[in-house]
Amino acid sequence: MPNTATARCRKKARVVLSGVLVLTGTVMTGCGGEAHDAGQGPGAAPRPQAARSGRVTVVYETGTVAPEDREAVALIRNSRVLERTADWVNRSLTLPHDMVVKVTAAVPPGVTDAVTQPDGRTIFIPPPFLTEIEKALADVVKTVERPALFPASEYNTDDLTVLSTEFIFGHEMGHALQRQLLLANLGLEEDAADGYASFYTVNEVGPGPSLAAAILFDEIARKEGVPTLEGMSSDHPVTQQRAYNFLCYLEGSDPKKYQRSLVDSGYLPKTRAPLCPQAWAMLDYGWWTQLRPHFSEPFKARGDEEQKKAHARLIAETNALAERIDELRKSQ
C-alpha cells in the first residue's frame, strides 16, 4: 500500500452497499455464486476437487468474525468482488492445485493484513483488515475533495471499500498465481503482484479499483508521514510510489480517455505521464505472456488473441516512447 502524501493525490472516492448481514456459521461461496454451509471449522482445508484443474473457492468463516468487523465483511461478501476475481481465474486458467480464499480471523500468528501462503494455495483476508480499510476511507470521504473522475454517486465509504478491496485481492491473487504456476519475475515479487492487480482490474473491471486503491494508499501514506528506514528497505515499494504506479498503469491503458482527468488535473505528474503508455503495454503483454501456457481450453482462443494484440501495442508504444524521449531531451 502507499506511503507519502501529496495534496493532489488525496482527492478520493466511496460507495454505499446497503445493509449489515448478520453472520452465523461458516459460509462458502462457490464459483457459480451460490452460498452454502461449508461444513468445515475455522482453518479447515477446502474439500478435494474432482475437476482436472485446481479451483479457486472463497470461504467466509463467519463464526470467527468479531462483532465490530461484521459490517465490513458483510459489505465485501454482498459485493461479490472476491468471487468475481476468483471466477475469472477459474474460467481462464488451469491451476495445478486448488486455492482457497479465507475471510477469517483464524489466521497464522502475526498476520494482520491480507496475505498469500508461500505455496499459493491459501489466501487469508482478516476481517479487522477490512474494517481498517473501511475506517481509512471513511476519513477520506469526510476530508478529501472528490476527484472529477469519480461519479458523485460513488464517492462514499462503501463503494471505495469494495473497489479498493478488489484491487488488494488482485494483488494477493497475483502472488498466488506466481507461486502456484512458478512464474518467472524480472523484479521484486511485490511489484509483480501490484502489476497483476492492475492488469486484471483494468482489463476486466474498469478504472474503479485502480482509482480507489490509489485513493486508499494515498491516505495511508499521509498517515505514515515521512518514510522510515524500515519502509524504504521493505520489499514493497514506498506507499505513495505505489499509488502513482496504479494511476500510471491506468492512464497508460487509455491516454486519450484519462489524460484530462488524471494528468491535466494534476493527479499524475506530467513528468511521469509520458512513460505510462509504454509501461502499461509492457505490463499487459508481460502478464498475457506469462499466463499463456496456463490458459484453460475454453479461454485459449481469447487469451491468445489478447496476447497478440498486447504484443503489437508494445511494439507501437516502444517506438512512440523513443520519439517522446527525443522531444523531451531537445526541450531541456
Range in 121-135, 148-162, 244-258, 315-329 the model is least confident about: 315-329
163 or 327: which carries more pLDDT confidence?
A: 163
Which of 56-60, 144-148, 198-202 comes out lowest in average pLDDT? 144-148
How confident is residue 169, by pLDDT bands cut at 50, 70 and 90? very high
Q: Give 7 or 95, the one with higher predicted confidence.
A: 95
Give the lowest-confidence range in 19-23, 215-219, 298-302.
19-23
pLDDT at 30: 40
pLDDT digits (tens, 9 = 90+) for 46-56: 344 334 579 99
What's the pLDDT at 3?
37
The model's confidence at residue 231, banded by pLDDT at 50, 70 and 90, is low
Which residue has better confidence, 220 or 246? 246
Q: Which range has highest mean pLDDT (34-43, 68-77, 261-270)?
A: 68-77
Helix, coil or strand: residue 87: helix
Among 138-142, 157-161, 162-166, 265-269, name the one with the lowest average pLDDT.
Answer: 265-269
Give the C-alpha separation, 9 to 267, whole Å. 5
β partners of residue 57: 100
Non-local CB neighbours of 120 within 8 Å, separated by 6+ positions: 97, 99, 175, 176, 177, 178, 179, 180, 181
pLDDT (mean) for 242-251: 95
Q: Does 295 or 332 have the greater pLDDT score?
A: 295
Q: Read off the pTM.
A: 0.81
pLDDT of residue 12: 34
- pLDDT, position 37: 36
